[in-house]
Structure 1
């Protein structure tokens, strides 16, 4: 590979977890710092995580590979593998379940399930002098953007910054862990609320005396859950990224380097408080400042760097608030739709005692027990399809055979049918026997107030649409209203450095002379 003379020396790929296109549209006029800078570059406000599996792991697997989940193999955050000896049969997307003694909650982080290389791995294969770094709030974000062959890969595990087993911890990571631990040990006073957030500072009842919508991120010392769902979480992760850039002198070597950064707090805030209250508004205002600080540090290095920012998926607000806004179809899912509950009911009717169905609450994959005879499976499949289709909250039920027989979709992602969206994240070796999709605005959380109140994971555009923003010093800014896909990011960045990426699902986007000319 001979990179072009104007190739950037450092690629910075940022994912803001659950940063939907709707969130950008609602808040972009108020950004003054990091987001504001990116909005002066190449702006694609209607990017798509085009597949149906709008979860963190599948979404992150598309950003720097150029492949949809059907090809990355990352069909969900977790899936059922009935051949595994562990109870529950659940396999996490970023684990090595073959490690003795591992479980779904106590696992060894690994990239073994990612079937394709990341851009960083391709860069390192073309020029071993390339440094590949990945940092995130979540292990699955760091893994899916970093990949198998990385120089440094770190995430916050709740107690410290952690990495793949057996890796030496550099001093900058030790310092970051110490600083984050000290921050977590201190109480956090309420954060200042920007004036533009005031209209959203309204309490929404989620049952009993519990409300959301008005928290300003004050927390008690040691409250790890509140810390994770706060601007301080992103600040800690991005501070480590900045430290690695400085200590490793990324972008100052003989080859182009790449760092991916997963900012995870917006997702935790969205799940915990919804996407339209004071919490998300304060979170985005602070993230804007934090990103601005990162870019200031990069500017001071004098390195020619290129930035892309996107998201792994969008998100839907909590139904209790949506109903007050006139979204009458908003509701919470009936617990009877949970595969375990549905399977038990079917088993009682058919006189079969073994667990029949596996999977999380739809939207998504449902697996039928492989312990059944061929005739039993046929009967259970028919009964399961009939029951789900009869449920008023269910939009559609698709069999694996139907999805597998569907060609991989082409054309604008907003025109794809639901089965085409499902095909884009279907892997016959991992996906369910059935995919059950709820109707639009049905939140797949049965009861609010016991944990998360809002979520994502549907095949609908509020979960699929994400912004894609490119920026590089000197580039001519523009905005393109048409739809593109997150799988277009990797080939676009690759073209900037003259790296061929044959066979990917995405296409190169023309960003102009100082961006990525696709010629």
Structure 2
């Protein structure tokens, strides 16, 4: 599984004809250019949680990167999606990384249950991506902790991880990495123009790593190169695909997401990032070829992304704007109190949606009045598309059918779970960026219920397969059942929200393996 963080279908299509490496190889397989992360919660954790579980967030429990949970031992009841909040050693700044909040098995876990010799390995720059792809039962899981690639406590660093970490440290300290420094590809030249978002100016020395700046390193192809080096190291250390068993190697590449946040999605920086990604994946697949491994690649993304509104306005999108939170301020509680006679504790998170969690001390009789007053006030805000209460979500069936045609309410329902989702959820209008004030490293984002965030590429590739293009909308939850069928893995009925996709364009049907 190769997941590229924040790679929208729009970006993949825009540069598809320019790819010559690994992305070009994938584009020759079975390609579904209109795959969907069905849910409204188009964030890293929910998005990755669908890829190898085959289950939407409403069932798998990963409703966001963060949420509020009454059972949390923390005073603020905050929960990070990839943290063991029951461990006293865990803190918000330095979490004890865990997949304990994921409520369903991943493909690698199903495989290990069926064959104890199978191995399940996950690697990512982001801990939450590795946890959501691997699950709770991994043979190895690696992620970047801000200083080095690390794994779970008690698991040894094997083979060349120390060497890789030392090379990364040198790159960050000096800003040098000649292997990745390259001239601007010709197809990127048209993006080389100045641009300003708030106080930040772009266009000079893109994707350079300033000496000592770890953030710059993450926001460059260099971090993807390092992630792939760790993945290759772990492939050899665990002899993945080199034994008489089927294994899962899940790799999430995060640099595209960091570049998208820091520079937007339509600038020179993103073009350079995707050109480098194409080269790096080509090298990575070449390493697998050299080892003689028979492998299948499933390729997709956790979500897409929206460009910075300032550039969107310049590029024929006059409706793009930044969210104005002035009407959602400290005065909001006073207004609710005035309309409903109730006070409450408020939590606002301006990412995919604002979410309110009411004071649990409110009486059963007072809660409906408070919620209705709050909904009415929020809907008066001209940039808010929809506001849903717990009652609204409970009354909404789980969506089915074509994800392209789901209503906003159905999209919200696909990522809503009682006990983890808030009492009131807010979705912003199309084109409204949740980044109210741009700054260095964060001028653009994702997380909306709109197709620029929900629609992602999906492709499957195996040596010798006959490729084809199928534009019908599918979902990322279709990946796990498709792979399970391909390898003949028997999974109990009802385990997946998705469906198997037939990867044989001829008379054969790769989805027949499960029933047989």
Match in the other structure for 1:10: none
Structure 2 CA distance, aligned partners of 1:275 and 1:345? 39
Match in the other structure for 1:357: 346
DSSP 3-state at the match of 1:467: strand
Structure 2 CA distance, aligned partners of 1:215 and 1:369? 49
Q: 1:149 aligns with which of 134, 137, 145?
A: 137
**1:115-154 pair list within 5 angstroms:** 115-154=103-142
Match in the other structure for 1:9: none
In terms of mean alpha carbon deviation, does 285-294 or 397-406 score higher? 397-406
The answer to whether structure 1 residue 204 and structure 2 residue 230 are counterparts is no
Match in the other structure for 1:327: 317
TM-aligned CA deviation for residue 337 of structure 1: 5.6
Q: 1:371 aligns with which of 350, 361, 375?
A: 361
Q: 1:192 aligns with which of 154, 174, 183?
A: 183
**Cα distance per residue 1:265-300 (max 9 Å; x no partner):** 000000111000000000000000000010010000
TM-aligned CA deviation for residue 263 of structure 1: 0.1
Structure 1 CA distance, aligned partners of 2:20 and 2:334? 55
Q: Is 1:332–1:446's contact at 8 Å kept on the other side of the alignment? A: yes
Structure 1 CA distance, aligned partners of 2:262 and 2:298? 27
Q: 1:177 aligns with which of 165, 188, 203?
A: 165
Q: 1:259 aligns with which of 246, 249, 260?
A: 249
Match in the other structure for 2:510: 517
Gaps of 5+ in 1: 1-12
Q: Is 2:83–2:90's contact at 8 Å kept on the other side of the alignment? A: no
Change (3 A) 1:516 1:70: farther
DSSP 3-state at the match of 2:387: strand
The answer to whether structure 1 residue 237 and structure 2 residue 227 are counterparts is yes
TM-aligned CA deviation for residue 207 of structure 1: 2.5
Structure 2 CA distance, aligned partners of 1:351 and 1:422? 26
TM-aligned CA deviation for residue 177 of structure 1: 1.7
Q: Is 1:331–1:441's contact at 8 Å kept on the other side of the alignment? A: yes
Structure 1 CA distance, aligned partners of 2:339 and 2:154? 50
TM-aligned CA deviation for residue 254 of structure 1: 1.5
TM-aligned CA deviation for residue 243 of structure 1: 1.5
Structure 1 CA distance, aligned partners of 2:384 and 2:375? 11
TM-aligned CA deviation for residue 405 of structure 1: 1.5
The answer to whether structure 1 residue 46 and structure 2 residue 34 are counterparts is yes
Q: Is 2:342–2:370's contact at 8 Å kept on the other side of the alignment? A: no
DSSP 3-state at the match of 1:171: coil
Change (3 A) 1:401 1:325: same
In terms of mean alpha carbon deviation, does 161-170 or 109-118 score higher? 161-170
In terms of mean alpha carbon deviation, does 175-184 or 429-438 score higher? 175-184
Change (3 A) 1:87 1:355: farther
TM-aligned CA deviation for residue 264 of structure 1: 0.4
**Cα distance per residue 1:369-412 (max 9 Å; x no partner):** 21333444333212211111000001111111111211111111
Q: Is 1:50–1:413's contact at 8 Å kept on the other side of the alignment? A: yes
Match in the other structure for 2:497: 505
Question: Structure 1-normalised TM-score?
Answer: 0.93
In terms of mean alpha carbon deviation, does 261-270 or 447-456 score higher? 447-456
Structure 2 CA distance, aligned partners of 1:286 and 1:43? 21
Q: Is 1:343–1:355's contact at 8 Å kept on the other side of the alignment? A: no
Structure 1 CA distance, aligned partners of 2:356 and 2:249? 36
Q: Is 2:198–2:439's contact at 8 Å kept on the other side of the alignment? A: yes
DSSP 3-state at the match of 2:3: strand
TM-aligned CA deviation for residue 346 of structure 1: 3.6
The answer to whether structure 1 residue 91 and structure 2 residue 79 are counterparts is yes
TM-aligned CA deviation for residue 113 of structure 1: 0.2
Q: 2:481 aligns with which of 491, 509, 513?
A: 491
Output the aligned Cα RMSD: 2.0
Match in the other structure for 1:8: none
The answer to whether structure 1 residue 168 and structure 2 residue 156 are counterparts is yes
Gaps of 5+ in 2: none
DSSP 3-state at the match of 1:357: coil
Q: Is 1:347–1:356's contact at 8 Å kept on the other side of the alignment? A: no
Give the count of matched residue pairs.
505
Change (3 A) 1:213 1:270: farther
In terms of mean alpha carbon deviation, does 417-426 or 315-324 score higher? 417-426
Q: 1:297 aligns with which of 259, 272, 287?
A: 287
In terms of mean alpha carbon deviation, does 86-95 or 416-425 score higher? 86-95
Match in the other structure for 2:52: 64
**Cα distance per residue 1:224-278 (max 9 Å; x no partner):** 0000010000000001111111232211112111100010000000011100000
TM-aligned CA deviation for residue 424 of structure 1: 1.1
Match in the other structure for 1:7: none
Structure 2 CA distance, aligned partners of 1:346 and 1:442? 24
In terms of mean alpha carbon deviation, does 33-42 or 173-182 score higher? 173-182
Q: Is 1:495–1:516's contact at 8 Å kept on the other side of the alignment? A: no
Question: Structure 2-normalised TM-score?
Answer: 0.94
**Cα distance per residue 1:26-63 (max 9 Å; x no partner):** 11011000000111111111110011110000010000
TM-aligned CA deviation for residue 164 of structure 1: 2.1
Structure 2 CA distance, aligned partners of 1:382 and 1:193? 54
Q: Is 2:43–2:352's contact at 8 Å kept on the other side of the alignment? A: no
